[in-house]
Chains A and B, each alone.
Chain A
Amino acid sequence: EAQVTQNPRYLITVTGKKLTVTCSQNMNHEYMSWYRQDPGLGLRQIYYSMNVEVTDKGDVPEGYKVSRKEKRNFPLILESPSPNQTSLYFCASSLSTSGQPQHFGDGTRLSIL
């Protein structure tokens, strides 16, 4: 089954404790992206990757890191999480960047205390 898989689905942690949210897709998609969604602000792009070893900042990259060592994986890293990073996070992928629809993972709800 074609899918984007995120883990964990839920995480409650404390300020400053490094965490990684994994994202994996099995569709051989070139383009992958991370979003956060907050009430009243909609989906905002954090980072995106157009292919292996190519990553770029989105609209709200501060406090986040990503890597794209393999085509299928695009982990989101919070080196020193802070409470303002409490949010609902979505990973998405698409075949390419040229106007293809995105497929989303189930979401990860992060709470930073």
Chain B
Amino acid sequence: RKEVEQDPGPFNVPEGATVAFNCTYSNSASQSFFWYRQDCRKEPKLLMSVYSSGNEDGRFTAQLNRASQYISLLIRDSKLSDSATYLCVVYSPASGAGSYQLTFGKGTKVWVIP
């Protein structure tokens, strides 16, 4: 099983609709989780951190399910500008005291269509 897996999509979402997608991780000791957004040929940009209790930032909601080892991202009232690739990032403890391994998912493509 790959360390971090995402459905590559694309998710074609009508403008104004809600879309949600997951990212599964294999290391149960993983400790920190983030969602990034990447536009075509641009750098990834931090969208939001994912906290144990779940968190919301405007139209975006991130959830963490430790029991099933996945994080999710939900986008409400989708805008055309939400079209992008969404990358999940998982930090897991690595060998060496205090060091962490950072693993990126390959991303989920979202197209918001008028």
Contacts and interface: CB of A to CB of B under 8 A. Distances in A.
Interface string B73-89: 00000000000000101
Contacts, number: 46
A40 B46 CA distance: 21
A106 B43 contact: yes
Interface string A74-104: 0000000000000010100000011111111
B43 A105 contact: yes
A42 B79 CA distance: 25
A99 B31 contact: yes
Interface string A11-55: 000000000000000000000010100001111010000100000
Interface residues of A, number: 22
18 contacts: A40-B106, A41-B106, A42-B105, A42-B106, A42-B107, A45-B102, A98-B100, A99-B31, A99-B91, A101-B46, A101-B49, A101-B89, A102-B44, A102-B89, A102-B102, A105-B43, A107-B42, A109-B41
